[in-house]
Amino acid sequence: MSFVLHGVGVSEGIAIGHAHLASHAALEVAHHVVPEDQVTNEISRLDTAFTTVRKELQALHDTVVSGPAAAEYEAFLDLHRMILDDPTLSTAAKAYIAQNQCNAEWAITQQMGVLMAQFEEIEDPYLRERKTDVIQVVERVLKVLLGHPGYIPPSQKRDGDSVLVAHDLSPADVLQYKQYSFTAFLTDLGGLTSHTAIVARSLNIPSVVALHHARRLIRENDILIVDGNQGVVIVDPDEHVLAEYRLRQSELELEKQKLKRLRTTVAATLDGTVVELYANIELPQDVDQVKENGATGVGLFRSEFLFLNRDSLPDEEEQFEAYRTVARKMRGMPVTVRTFDLGADKNLDHAKRVAANPALGLRAIRLSLAEPQMFNIQLRAILRASRYGQIRILVPMLSNVAEITQTLHLIQSAKQSLRNEKIPFDEKVQVGGMIEIPAAALSLDIFMRKLDFLSIGTNDLIQYTLAIDRADDTVAHLYDSLHPAVLRLVAHVIRSANRASIPVSVCGEIAGDVVFTRLLLGFGLRVFSMHPVQLLTVKREVLRANLPDLIPITQKILKTADPEKIHALLAKLNA
């Protein structure tokens, strides 16, 4: 019987293949009270399980030598090893056994629950989703304790037409499955920043997550159509549907090959307006993908990723090397380093600070100003790297002039300290601010007088404008990038900056969504920054656009508050 499942498409493309069901990783654990004289044995049993898992991860790590996404696999495995060695997991679990005289399985799951509660308090959705890594590590330990096999390989190897269907996938799972050349990944859990999504995008294969019941509803060897563009999975399609999707698949592959030819083409509209297409990156190794897709700069280097998944903060030298590496690889093209955008309950106080409403709490520049020594180390590192390329400093989540003044003062202080030590840097390094709070968008004049450039962070701007927690599934349907208030704020910032001759870019999700490309061009945007894999698709849309045709329709869109009319006008704009 044919049926359709809807989820979240996290990696574009269409795949057709047979389902292969991955074993369910979830394990149920019973609680047992152990005699006092057996407590030591339980602790020893837990230690042995940790050692076994450590060896498993090392063995997996040793298999990563080269090939697609090798860097991602290594990073994920390193993260799991780090979690495994973290005393908040292992030491606390052993203490729990001693205090409660319970079995090792129960102790480790109880400690996992404590860590899960701490992760739930984290504001940043990417960081919050890392709780999945803790679960996956604990499940590996449990499998050893319970004597379960760690891995069941696919029963039948096919030549690239198998679709992996799983409740959830750990990085180690993905690494093990890599040899079978799956044509797509489907999972019940996950989101845009899940490991499955990250790896699928890096491997450039279709993937749909958050399908909720796919693992239960789909049977082994079912024929599946996976539409990563629409987030749709069709199970046991009829011949007519299969033929239709095979045609679409061929067309997409042809388009993909054509897109590669645009890599060195200048992004200019039909009327000759040149548009800069920059890339968003998280780590220095991302620059290779940036160059493969022909970006003309890095519009957003999310430096906070240098601070994550580690016991200690990166020192000045480590940060300097990271920024310098990117600057050198980009060979004179702009590199915009955003100062760390960390939440209040992570890194500094080891997750002990709990904010009632973390989205509105001590994060981003607020945290930087509250921790001036930590901020100074980063500023010195960025400034030192500035002599190796065209580095710019981008300050996140500014809301008032006092924050700008304090930030500029600290930058000057960092510069003076380098001068005193006779350490060279670019004296004219530009400083910009992110516009992601409505208050900043509505008081733009003072921002433009004090800053060299602006970057609109649409993800947070939408969240704060509509009072929608974008990480909360229960209100996710209210997150609307086309809300009239959002569009007017974005257009206002772009036009105000253009009138003042202040460079402005958009680095949020809509910058990489071709649905918005013509609209943003009509607003006057000339600098887009997005995930590297989105660059060529957006470039193609730019090449097809003619500004004189776009402006009248974008004006009409800004004048209407009716959502249906906005959607109709947008469709006309993109026709």
What the block records as the tokens of 128 is: 């919050």
DSSP, collapsed to helix, strand or coil, labels residue 362 as: coil
Q: Is 409 a catalytic residue?
A: no
Contact 546, 269 (CB under 8 A): yes
Of 195, 350, 477, 492, the catalytic one is 195
Enter the DSSP assignment of 218: P
Contact 97, 46 (CB under 8 A): yes
Contact 484, 561 (CB under 8 A): yes
Does 338 carry a binding-site annotation? yes
Of 283, 245, 209, 192, residue with least CA distance to 6 = 209
Does 470 carry a binding-site annotation? yes
Contact 422, 328 (CB under 8 A): no
> To which residue do tokens 């900043």 refer?
440
DSSP, collapsed to helix, strand or coil, labels residue 353 as: coil
Q: Is 102 a catalytic residue?
A: no
Count CB neighbours of 75 within 10 A: 17
> To which residue do tokens 């009716």 refer?
562
Of 16, 23, 26, 15, residue with least CA distance to 154 = 23
Residue-level length of the chain: 575
Of 20, 102, 167, 507, the catalytic one is 507
Does 400 carry a binding-site annotation? no
Does 302 carry a binding-site annotation? yes
With b for 16 or more beta-carbon neighbours within 10 A and e for fewer, the 413-437 pattern comes to ebbeebeeeeeebbeebbbbbbbbb
Does 459 carry a binding-site annotation? yes
> CA 18, CA 332: separation in Å to the nearest integer?
47
- Element housing 505 (H / E): strand 504-506
What the block records as the tokens of 51 is: 């050692």
Does 316 carry a binding-site annotation? no
Annotation: binding site for phosphoenolpyruvate? 302, 338, 459-460, 470
Q: Catalytic positions, please?
A: 195, 507
Residues at the annotated binding site?
302, 338, 436, 459-460, 470
* Binding region for Mg(2+): 436, 460
